[in-house]
């Protein structure tokens, strides 16, 4: 078993820290400073995002937004576009499954 204290691990702002990676999935800790964003994007994998601390806003291209703090768990289908904006300094955990997903550039 491996475990992490997500509130205490060292993560540099905007330098994602891969916690674990296997063909079944990848878990990544992200430190996103207030006012910064993960601009609209999509990934090849199914994605789950959880807020450990701080406050974020999630946005879809259709204009839907969700304001969220600690305890949020959001999920996206593969190729579903989205944006993540930090309202406050925030710690996030992103889980991608499988890793890498079908069509990911590393599979070329």
Cα four-point dihedral sign 104, 99, 58, 33: negative
Query: pLDDT per residue over 37-96, tens digit each?
Result: 998 989 999 999 999 999 999 999 899 999 999 999 999 999 999 999 999 999 999 999
What is each CA distance from 7 to 10, 39, 54, 75, in whole angstroms? 9, 24, 11, 21
Which of 3.40.50.1370, 2.60.120.620, 2.60.120.10, 2.70.98.10 is the CATH number of 27-102? Answer: 2.60.120.10
The angle formed by the CA atoms of residues 17, 22 and 23, to the nearest 5 degrees, is: 130
The pair phi, psi for residue 24, each rounded to 5°, is: -75, -25
Confidence of residue 101 (pLDDT cuts 50, 70, 90): confident
Question: What's the pTM?
Answer: 0.91
Which helix (H) or strand (E) segment holds residue 95: the answer is strand 90-97
Residue 32: per-residue pLDDT? 97
């Amino acid at each position: 078993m491996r475990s992490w204290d997500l509130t205490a691990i060292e993560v540099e702002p905007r330098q994602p820290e891969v916690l674990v990676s296997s063909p079944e999935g990848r878990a990544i800790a992200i430190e996103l400073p207030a006012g910064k964003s993960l601009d609209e994007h999509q990934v090849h994998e199914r994605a789950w995002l959880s807020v450990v601390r701080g406050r974020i806003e999630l946005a879809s291209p259709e204009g839907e937004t969700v304001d969220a703090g600690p305890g949020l768990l959001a999920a996206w289908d593969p190729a579903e576009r989205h944006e993540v904006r930090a309202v406050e300094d925030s710690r996030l955990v992103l889980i991608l499954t499988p890793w890498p997903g079908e069509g990911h550039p590393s599979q070329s």
